[in-house]
Amino acid sequence: MSTLQTVARGDNPTRSSGSSTRAGAARRWRLPRSAGWLGAVPLLLFAALVFGLPAGTMVFGALTTPETVPGGARFTGANMSASLHGPYLTALIGSVKLSAVSALIAAVVGLPVAHAVVTSRFRALREAVLAGAGVLANFGGVPLAFAFVATLGNAGVLTTRFHLLGHGWNLYSFWGLTLVYLYFLIPLMVLTLAPALEGLRRQWREAAHNNGASTFRYWMHVALPILMPSLLGGYVLLFGTAFSAYATAAAMVGSSVPLVTMQIADALSGNVLVGQDNVALALGVDMVLVAGLVMAVQVPLQRRSTRWLA
């Protein structure tokens, strides 16, 4: 009778039995929910090997004395204290100042450029500009320094042509290095802001205009408040990029502009004082702390921006 009722309901007893068997097998092979994190084990191992091991070695070296000193390695806070005094503190402040100024200028210039690119009617031009920005954002190091030295150095083409030295121009200074950093920070800001600008809906502008708002008031009261998390997140990203840059500054200005990356290189190579390796590791810890603070600011801003523009 039960079989007839099953057939009458349209179910096939044999198929149901097979489905039950497959479901039972699936339940037997299904991993517990608590074991789902096992899929992240390769990533965790990679992160521990590539990031955790160097970071742990750096922190240990920053908090211990060199093994070559009498008594061997022992815990001390002298390295961290030294990294926050004298020329090391000056270099740390110089890096923060250079990163903050260059990131601010890049954010101010990058916003209208990104808006012009996003609202362009020519799709091919827009894609070409974004592709070029992707290339320029990753163009740095010695080639970039050489290009600027050949163009705007003391004997550069434009310096000689327009007699820039007579007007006080100096590429190997704070503002010269800022100009070089803008070469890759502005394209990076354009790439960062383009998705956020694409998220601005046309209906918001039309609604603002229908209520009598001018373009300026639309940007001040609608667009900029929505874009502010993306702007701040992009600024933080640019700050971190400029803060960690080394090769361009090393090839162009050396130690004439105090930067923490230059101090780390000098301490590791014994350029000024011998046996300052652990102080260099302490400076690295300072940079990691600043980068961690930057990331702590960027992540919630990025989440808020994503929620607004979703």
Q: Return the pLDDT at 203.
A: 87
Is 39 within 8 Å of 48 (Cβ atoms)? no
pLDDT at 2: 46
What's the pLDDT tens digit per position in 270-282? Answer: 776 767 788 889 9
Measure CA 212 to chain center: 40
DSSP of 151-204: HHSTT-HHHHHHTGGGGT--SSSHHHHHHHHHHHHHHHHHHHHHHHHHTS-HHH
Confidence of residue 10 (pLDDT cuts 50, 70, 90): very low
What is the tens place of the pLDDT at every residue in 25-65? Answer: 555 556 666 667 787 888 889 988 988 898 899 999 889 88
- The answer, yes or no, to whether residue 75 has pLDDT greater than 90, is no
What integer pLDDT is reported at residue 307 of this predicted model? Answer: 66
Count of Cβ atoms closer than 10 Å to residue 310 Cβ:
6
Query: What pLDDT is attached to residue 202?
Result: 85
- Mean pLDDT of all residues in 77-96: 90
Region 270-298: mean pLDDT is: 82
Residue 88 clears pLDDT 50, i.e. is over it: yes
Q: Report residue 64: phi and psi, to 5°.
A: -130, 165
The model's pTM is: 0.78
Mean pLDDT of 170-178: 92
Residue 104, C-beta contacts closer than 8 angstroms, at least 6 positions apart: 235
Q: Which of 12-16, 70-74, 126-130 has the highest mean pLDDT?
A: 126-130
Q: Report which of 307, 269, 251, 262 is spatially closest to residue 287, judged by C-alpha positions.
A: 262
| 131, 132, 136, 139: CA torsion to nearest 10 | 80
Q: Which distant-in-sequence residues (6+ apart) come within 8 Å of 139 by Cβ?
A: 183, 184
For helices 123-137 and 174-198, the axis angle rounded to 10 degrees is: 140
Q: Does the pLDDT value for residue 7 go beyond 50?
A: no
The C-alpha atoms of residue 135 and residue 186 are separated, in whole angstroms, by 12
Whole-number average pLDDT of the chain: 83
pLDDT score recorded for residue 8 = 45
Q: How far apart are CA 181 and CA 136, in angstroms?
A: 11
Count of H helices and E strands in the chain?
16, 0
* pLDDT, tens digit (0-9, with 9 covering 90-100), for 235-256: 888 998 999 899 999 988 887 8
The confidence band for 3, taking pLDDT boundaries of 50, 70 and 90, is very low
Mean of pLDDT values over 189-194: 91
Q: What is the mean pLDDT of residues 204-231?
A: 88
More confident residue, 75 or 149: 149
Give mean pLDDT, residues 182-202. Answer: 90
